[in-house]
């Protein structure tokens, strides 16, 4: 094994429950983004662009979509002989021991043997939750320059926002002396991005020590405070570029919509720091003779025959004649049949919307089952779903499964209502 200076461990086991039906059948890092990517493509591309070629991806919640996407690492040129991607689910050990990953640090603890086998000097801890471009090599240089045991990437937020984050209180050189989780009265505006570089031998010791204390060992709650207490050297590394949390339906929708702007803040169109993904087959995109498309991004293989405005259309989508789609995200492999009208709608992959369906009409009534998740007027149609012809669906609605006309009273689903059909065979 060739020695690795720095390897990465990517925490990809979380559900991301605030994304509602989008994470019903896949982990959050596997959720599609920007017409052709999945969220995990951003940290993975950052790794390969930063020269980090060994990544352990920790999976737990609904990993199938993610596993298929990762494969042998081909999307990011990580199908290499030395290093590459390893998918690391929880495992059983001698004497029927072993357990689920119970916390962020616990997940790493359970893979100490994997990391030891790579023999790195430094370990980069990432999550698969954010959209950003970041040079981890520059962060490592900072770590080495300051002789750190831990470097924590931080974002400067407003003091009002600060009480939603883990906040680093640091001196004038950005050396951290205190960590506060979601403080009511924040003393600083340096918010942790959940991106850490650890000197491996220090992290290894801390993980083993903390495992004896906390069964749900967590970086923010346990490891970082413990290392501060022990007088280890922790620095905050300020990140000043685009960084987007896409953890809620609204923020996910908004981050997608930002990409459509003429000059988006987050630019995917430059060759430098390219974002890589799984491009299996890739016919060009076709726009038909009667189509009308304004301010949209449209991925390969999509066939457009209707009217599109301000929308994100993913790979191999078919938009039939007479449709009108506005402010919506249509994911891979969906078919929107003739005459349907969609307004502020997210349609997850491989879903079929029948003819003359209307989605997004009516009043903005929050979802009655999950008002905290669906409350900004966006209706979400799940993956592999069928919406029959002539159905009218309101705002903040959720539809999942192969629905039939009898699942809707009077061909209607009022704002805030849901139809969720789970396969009995599952």
Cβ pair 197, 124 in contact under 8 A: yes
Q: Which of residues 312-371 bind another protein (CB under 8 A)?
A: 312-314, 316
Residue count of the chain, please give it: 426
Q: Does residue 262 bind another protein (CB under 8 A)?
A: yes
- How do 312-313 and 292-294 pair as beta strands? unpaired
Tell me which of 282, 321, 369, 405 binds another protein, using CB under 8 A: 282
Q: Does residue 289 bind another protein (CB under 8 A)?
A: yes
Three-class DSSP category at 225: helix
**Residue 68 Cβ vs another protein, minimum distance, rounded to whole Å:** 16
Three-class DSSP category at 18: helix
Q: Does residue 284 bind another protein (CB under 8 A)?
A: yes
If 0-12 CB within 10 Å is exposed, 13-18 middle and 19+ buried, where does residue 26 land?
buried
Stretch that binds another protein, among 195-203, 241-249, 262-270, 346-354 (CB under 8 A): 262-270
**Residue 106 Cβ vs another protein, minimum distance, rounded to whole Å:** 34
Number of residues that bind another protein (CB under 8 A): 42
Structure tokens belonging to residue 208: 């083993």
Stretch that binds another protein, among 308-316, 323-331, 357-365, 408-416 (CB under 8 A): 308-316
Q: Which of residues 61-80 bind another protein (CB under 8 A)?
A: 74-75, 79
**Residue 280 Cβ vs another protein, minimum distance, rounded to whole Å:** 8
Q: Does residue 287 bind another protein (CB under 8 A)?
A: yes
Stretch that binds another protein, among 159-167, 279-287, 350-358, 412-420 (CB under 8 A): 279-287
CA atoms within 13 A on the CB side of 45: 20
Stretch that binds another protein, among 124-132, 280-288, 357-365, 402-410 (CB under 8 A): 280-288
* CB-based burial, 357-366: b 16+ in 10 Å, e otherwise: bbbbebeebb
- Of the pair 6, 260, the CB lying nearest another protein is at 260
Cβ pair 312, 285 in contact under 8 A: no
- Of the pair 310, 402, the CB lying nearest another protein is at 310
Backbone angles phi, psi at 198, to 5 degrees: -115, 145
**Residue 359 Cβ vs another protein, minimum distance, rounded to whole Å:** 22
SS3 sequence, 120-146? CCEEEEEECCEEECCCHHHHHHHHHHC
- The sign of the torsion formed by the CA atoms of 211, 214, 215, 217 equals negative
**Residue 25 Cβ vs another protein, minimum distance, rounded to whole Å:** 23
Stretch that binds another protein, among 144-152, 184-192, 299-307, 339-347 (CB under 8 A): 299-307
If 0-12 CB within 10 Å is exposed, 13-18 middle and 19+ buried, where does residue 186 land?
buried
Measured in whole angstroms, the distance separating CA 178 from the mean position of its chain's CA atoms is 29
Q: What is the DSSP letter of 201?
A: H
**Residue 303 Cβ vs another protein, minimum distance, rounded to whole Å:** 7
Dihedral of CA atoms 73, 77, 81, 83 in degrees, nearest 10, equals -70
Stretch that binds another protein, among 24-32, 128-136, 215-223, 300-308 (CB under 8 A): 300-308
Stretch that binds another protein, among 33-41, 57-65, 209-217, 358-366 (CB under 8 A): 33-41
Residue 255 CB contacts under 8 Å (≥ 6 apart), including other chains: 33, 131, 244, 246, 266
Q: What is the DSSP letter of 344?
A: S
Question: Roughly how many angstroms between the first and final C-alpha of the chain, as a whole number?
Answer: 42
Tell me which of 114, 242, 243, 286 binds another protein, using CB under 8 A: 286
**Residue 259 Cβ vs another protein, minimum distance, rounded to whole Å:** 8
**Residue 376 Cβ vs another protein, minimum distance, rounded to whole Å:** 24
Q: Does residue 296 bind another protein (CB under 8 A)?
A: yes
Residues that bind another protein (CB under 8 A): 34-36, 74-75, 79, 260, 262, 268-269, 274-277, 279-301, 303, 312-314, 316
């Amino acid at each position: 094994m060739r020695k690795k200076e720095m390897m990465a461990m990517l925490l990809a086991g979380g559900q991301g429950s605030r994304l509602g039906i989008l994470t019903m059948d896949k982990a959050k890092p596997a959720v599609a983004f920007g017409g052709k990517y999945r969220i995990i493509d951003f940290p993975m591309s950052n790794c390969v662009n930063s020269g980090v070629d060994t990544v352990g991806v920790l999976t737990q919640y609904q990993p199938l979509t993610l596993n298929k996407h990762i494969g042998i690492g081909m999307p990011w040129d990580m199908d290499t002989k030395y290093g590459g991607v390893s998918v690391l689910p929880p495992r059983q050990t001698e004497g029927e021991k072993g357990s689920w990953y119970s916390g962020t640090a616990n997940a790493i603890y359970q893979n100490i043997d994997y990391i030891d086998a790579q023999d790195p000097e430094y370990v980069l801890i990432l999550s698969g939750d954010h959209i950003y471009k970041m040079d981890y090599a520059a962060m490592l240089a900072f770590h080495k320059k300051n002789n750190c045991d831990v470097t924590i990437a931080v974002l400067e937020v407003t003091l009002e926002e600060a009480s939603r984050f883990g906040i680093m209180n640091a001196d004038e050189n950005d050396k951290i002396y205190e960590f506060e989780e979601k403080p009511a009265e924040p003393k600083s505006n340096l918010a942790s991005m959940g991106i850490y570089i650890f000197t491996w031998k220090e992290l290894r010791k801390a993980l083993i020590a903390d495992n004896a204390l906390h069964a749900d060992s967590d970086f923010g709650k346990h490891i970082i405070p413990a290392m501060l207490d022990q007088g280890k050297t922790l620095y905050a590394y300020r990140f000043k570029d685009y960084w987007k949390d896409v953890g809620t339906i609204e923020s996910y929708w908004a981050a997608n919509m930002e990409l459509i702007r003429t000059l988006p803040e987050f630019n995917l169109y430059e060759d430098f720091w390219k974002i890589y993904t799984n491009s299996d087959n890739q016919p060009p995109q076709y726009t038909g003779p009667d189509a009308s498309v304004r301010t949209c991004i449209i991925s390969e293989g999509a066939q457009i025959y209707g009217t599109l405005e301000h929308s994100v259309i993913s790979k191999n989508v078919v938009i039939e004649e007479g449709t009108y789609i506005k402010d919506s995200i249509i994911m891979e492999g969906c078919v929107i049949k003739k005459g349907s009208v969609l307004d502020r709608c997210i349609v997850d992959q491989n879903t079929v919307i029948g003819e003359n369906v209307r989605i997004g009409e009516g009043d903005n009534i929050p979802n009655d089952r999950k008002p905290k998740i669906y409350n900004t007027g966006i209706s979400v149609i799940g993956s592999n779903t069928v919406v029959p012809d002539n159905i009218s669906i309101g705002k903040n609605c959720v539809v999942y499964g192969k629905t039939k006309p009898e699942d809707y009273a009077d061909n209607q689903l009022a704002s805030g209502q849901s139809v969720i059909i789970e396969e009995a065979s599952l």
